[in-house]
Amino acid sequence: MGERILDVKNLEIDFHTYAGEVKAIRNVSFHLDKGETLAIVGESGSGKSVTTKSLMGLLANNARVKGGEILFHGTDLLKKTEKEMQSVRGKDIAMIFQDPMTSLDPTMKIGMQIAEPLIKHKHMEKKKALAQALEILKLVGIKDAEKRINDYPHQFSGGQRQRIVIAIALVCYPEILIADEPTTALDVTIQAQILDLMKELQAKIETSIIFITHDLGVVAGMADRVAVMYAGQIIEYGTVDEIFYNPQHPYTWGLLNSMPTLDSTKLEAIPGTPPDLLDPPKGDAFAARNPYAMKIDAEKQPPFFKVSETHYAATWLLHPDAPKITPPDEIVRRRKLFAEMQAKKVD
């Protein structure tokens, strides 16, 4: 790929609670190249949102970064003051949140909400900023944009509001766009439109996207690379083809297995629940839910084993001495479905 613009190294984040220290993010490392889309996937509570909020300096008051670096063009964002981060947020790194209604100010016309980042970050005069807001409103596909620029958020549908939130995030042409489950609240048809729109805009303004989701089906059509998170750690990462065609971690198998498909009405849930991060297990965090777990899984955390130059997985099953386990039949069947999705993507 191209130039590396973001490098997260050994990130550790704890949350201070009445019950004790929750070890929410445990030694997380990943990178992002210019113009690519990295998907971070995993169940709720796996640490996806906390990781990306730390990039923006938007962690809760009870969160503490215990270690690591977040290098944006070689500069550690964790060393910046709140005032310095304010000039990064929205201008260099922008975020689309899950629920557009909580991101939009109900008392302000949407044109002004889109123009605000331009006035703040680019010191643009109001008239010029509103003209640019109108352009991006058209770009994100709001019909009759000239009239609607003076409307308030409640006058738009859910899908339109999400388009407006995307317009606000993209108006300064940020280098990195973080999309935190941006289509969760939308129906499937609108969801597909929003995802297509994001890909289209990405090509136009050359932004890099970090896409957070629990839905692997969305990932197939969106991402270049995928990082799978579980219990505050990345446990497998690779290109989108590698994660779908050749998944190595039993948790990734479980996620793929729980994807709904057109020809299968039966959904396989992963049995059990994630571990308590007040006291994380000393071995593989997935061991208690892993039908293929070995004795070593309970005792020692697996390192990353190299599958290819771009594909790594942290599972003892990849150790040369481990028994050879083949993925469940369902995973093999889903590979065919993924191939079909990829074919549509090319069309």
CA distance 331 to 160: 36
Those residues whose C-beta lies under 8 Å from the C-beta of residue 79, and which sit 6 or more positions away, are: none
The reported pTM is 0.90
Residue with the two structure tokens 């083949």: 326
CA distance 229 to 202: 24
Q: What is the pLDDT of residue 330?
A: 67
Q: Which two tokens stand for residue 54?
A: 């730390």
Q: What is the pLDDT of residue 333?
A: 67
Question: Is 265 exposed, middle or buried, given 0-12, 13-18 or 19+ CB atoms closer than 10 A?
Answer: exposed
Planar angle of CA 327, 331, 334, nearest 5 degrees:
160
Those residues whose C-beta lies under 8 Å from the C-beta of residue 130, and which sit 6 or more positions away, are: 111, 112, 115, 149
Q: Which amino acid is at 3?
A: E
Q: At what angle do helices 126-139 and 110-121 cross, to 10 degrees?
A: 120
Q: What is the pLDDT of residue 64?
A: 95
Q: What is the pLDDT of residue 234?
A: 97
Q: Are 80 and 88 in contact (CB under 8 A)?
A: yes
Those residues whose C-beta lies under 8 Å from the C-beta of residue 229, and which sit 6 or more positions away, are: 28, 40, 41, 42, 46, 47, 48, 51, 235
CA distance 258 to 216: 9
CA distance 240 to 228: 11
Q: Where are the alpha helices (DSSP H) in the chain?
A: 48-56, 82-88, 100-103, 110-121, 126-139, 145-148, 158-170, 188-205, 216-222, 240-245, 250-257, 295-299, 329-346
User: DSSP letter at 138?
Assistant: H
Please, where in the chain does CATH 3.40.50.300 lie? 4-214, 228-346
Question: Which CATH number describes the domain made up of 228-346?
Answer: 3.40.50.300
Paired sense of beta strands 63-72 and 4-17, if any: antiparallel
Task: Name the residue among 197, 178, 90 with its Cα closest to residue 138.
Answer: 197
pLDDT in tens, the chain (347 residues): 579 999 999 999 999 999 999 999 999 999 999 999 999 999 888 999 999 999 999 999 999 999 999 999 999 999 999 999 999 998 999 998 777 677 899 999 999 999 999 999 999 999 999 999 999 899 888 999 999 999 999 999 888 898 899 899 988 989 999 998 887 767 777 778 888 888 888 888 889 999 998 888 788 888 999 999 999 999 999 999 999 889 999 999 988 887 766 666 566 778 899 999 999 999 999 999 999 999 999 999 999 999 999 999 999 999 999 998 877 776 766 666 666 666 665 55
CA distance 70 to 64: 14
> So what's the architecture of 4-214 in CATH?
3-Layer(aba) Sandwich (3.40)
CA distance 186 to 214: 15
Provide the 10 A C-beta neighbour count for residue 298.
13
CA distance 111 to 45: 35
